[in-house]
Structure 1
Amino acid sequence: MHTNYYFLRQLAPALEALLTGLRFVECFSQDRDEVVLVFAQAKGKQNYYKPFYIKAVLRPDFSGLLFPQTVQRARNNSVDLFEEVTNSLPGQEEVQGNSDETVEANRPGRAVIGVRSFLNERCLAILLEDKYTMLFKFFGNRPNLLAFHENTVTDLFNQKLLTDRQLVLDALDRPIDQSWEAFEKAGYDHRKLFPTFGKVVNEWLNEQAVNNTLTTPEAKWTLIQQTLQQLEQPHYYLTKLHHKPTLSLLPLGDIQRELMDPVEAGNRFFITYNGLTAFEHEKGNLLRLLEKRRKRAEALIEINLQRIVDREEGASHEEMGHILMANLHDIPVVSGSKSPETVTLTDFYRDQPITIRLKPDLSPQKNAENYYRKAKNEKIEEDYLTGQITAREEEITLLDRQKADLEAIQTLKELRRYSKQHNLQSDQLANQLASGDTTNLFKEVIIDKFRILIGRNAKNNDLLTQKYAYKEDLWLHARDVAGSHVIVKYQAGKPFPKNVIERAAELAAWYSKRRTDSLCPVIVTPKKYVRKPKGLAEGQVIVDKEDSILVVPRE
């Protein structure tokens, strides 16, 4: 939270008091992701008085500011930056010993006239004379330092961030309607109104809402307003959150120290975070990984429990089959032995009427048999859901034990040995397959609630077809050419819609060597007819029974 929007709002006036009147005399870098700015009272080139240093780290994984007392510039491997801004300017200077005589002298740099933050944006600007501005931009994993002349970017620290050249200084302020009415229109989702809160503030809000059992929108809105007031107060907490040093404006996590000055708070956090040893970094990363997996397992348990509850509400497929068989004589027959689309009968399980949907092209007795078949699949699915819950509960027990083991480890060597022995870094695939979570494993498309999974390469195709696809799923592949395996996941009791099959075939054609063809034949078959005998190369399979469809390749 070092570059959090609310921290920058309070840092700006503190820096303004320290920098106003000083000159921006030098800027250099001696590290790929670090830049040092020097401000001072100056008379003559390299003749500085009372220098003030800002050291900025601008890495994708961490960005922040340090205000050190001294900075030693290396003789080699350092480069001057932003020389257009720090160049010498002509000015009037008195000749020593004669107050009545003045001469033209070189005065380095431009004077600081102010420091400002921006509305709802993570930026900090140092305003200089002659309409120059040095802007620290802390946008996620794209931090940068930019020089502006008036509204136009004149130079960048990270030249690879090409879009930064399009930034307009006056357009950085981002007004957002943060009223109660806007909160209502946003469906009471505060994140749409306050994107600058970030993970720490949102975690604080969730924790407060749970602890105080806040359920109504009005109560949540009151909490948000109270939190905004706290964020504007000069209290800074150096805390540890999720095993990581954090600078927070809210009393959250394992608080190590409370500070009142934003410059001192920024310094202490910067030193603490960047002073972590390799052991502390790796241990914290592993503990966060275990906690992430635990939350995922808890979420999957909740999802599967809800599925079981949803299935138990109302009549089951087996009960509807029994009700149909017990009331065959009451079901009207339409055109021969066909059935109506719906029929209302007496539910003798609950002693109330029940409306049951029927397939008109089947007889009442065949409809009952269809419900019995669904009941069999329902039992299989219920057993699967129960098994998933048990597996996730066992996973949570294992994760808790591993977390306790990690917390007790005190050396890097022991930590790495434990991680390797327990496969902590590489068991993500097994967990994803066991949980049904395919995030980042395969390309995924959702069409009418049907999941379409696409293999990324030959090895990934084998993983998709052999490990993740089940016999009821639909398997597709462009005919006679190399390409991705495509799977449409089966949904119990639901036929594959024609538009879903066609879309999956278009994707199979696109992710194949026939991408540029005007039309492409695509194999379509249930996965149970796809097999991989020993000896076949990665991605190769044998299809025992197939249909085909002709489509236009489309991404």
Structure 2
Amino acid sequence: AKKNSIDLFDEVILKKLNGITQYENERSFALDFDNGYSLVFKMHANRSNVLLSKEGKVIEIFRNQFKADLELSLQELHRAIDWSYAHFTQNIGNLKQTYFTFGKEIWRYLEENGCDENDTTKTWKMIQEVILLLETPTFYILNRKGQIKFSLLPDGDRIKSLSDPIEAINEFFYLATSTDTLQREKAAIQKKLMAIIDSSEGYISKNLKKLDEITIDTPYKIWADVLMANMHQVEKGKKKITLFDFDGKEITLKLKPDLNAQQNAQIFYRKAKNQEIEINKLSESIQQKQSELDAAKVQLTQLDAIATLTDFKQQFKESKIKVSKKEEPLPFHQMEYMGYKIWIGKNAVNNDLLTLKYAHKDDLWLHAKDVAGSHVVIKNQSGKTIPKEVIERAAELAAYNSKRKTESLCPVAYTQKKFVRKRKGDLPGTVVVEREQVIMVTPKL
């Protein structure tokens, strides 16, 4: 055994298993051995424990903080339920404790379907119907408030109903994972689109105000025309002059005292020309931002209507939605696929940097088999299994960034980064892989 391991419950090591005890209406079971010992597994959430018993008496426990388990009578783990009508009527006001194996989902189903303790006949009938559903089950895959649920009760928008439990759970897993992927992918695109919308609206609002300021507050051409129309009133050497514009309103103009009226007017005309160029450019940029804003709003509406991962991939997977990044760039190539970050080494030295410094032990490491090429890393997300599609995409990148990039099929090794090490004296980019799996892919950028 390894240094960090220890044998527990020596009394049952290598002993013959005689049978299994399933405690009635209890989340516990026991493995019974031929020497009179049993291992009892108490599946009680954060109070779970493993007990070693000898002829029904607990003599050792795994989690020693639960000392009360040493005094446990194993026969008490059997919890009978009286399903008779007489017992039902006697406990009509205490049904949740009486039928303690009914979980929150069952009681919610009963309540939402009109179960009322004040109506004894109806409540009894509904409970019998639920028992029948549980004992002769049809397995339902439901959409409940946007979430995919697996249930023995027809409680929600029905997607599928199946009679075979293995087929049902496999179908549920596929739908649940694809739905989860779709929701994450949609959320990522939605975030980018909202960033574009917020940024565009802010830009348009800011620059419309600027456009108004330019065209209304500083009408250089009007000032120049007024000055030319009143040349006879303008004497050289003045720093400012008050004149009437073409609407009869007084305006005060600042002048250069060393220039005459015509020369000062030429300055205003030049500023008017530059102002017109600025107005045109500003108008074009506002129009462009408005087009981006309109497109983002259309895409957001389309995104809301998408219900399947296939439709999403067809419509958005090649979408070039971009938002500015404020993060410092990492020293290797980066991309994102289905919400997972993929890092790609640039050269041998950079491969070492990626694998040995930046990659975490639980990240997935990939490399084209038996040829020189880039190290590729898929960043792990805590509590999640990296989807097969992400592994395939990263493998395609590893194959493309290798000496096998022109081959029709390329074997790519992948493993957790913790199984990749570098020996002293190895050349840059050279590593030893202690454990690996291989996937065949077509090299693709």
- TM-score of the two chains, using structure 2 as the length reference: 0.34
Structure (1 or 2) with the larger CA radius of gyration: 2
Structure with the larger helix share:
2
More strand as a share of residues: 1
Q: How high is the TM-score relative to the length of structure 1?
A: 0.28
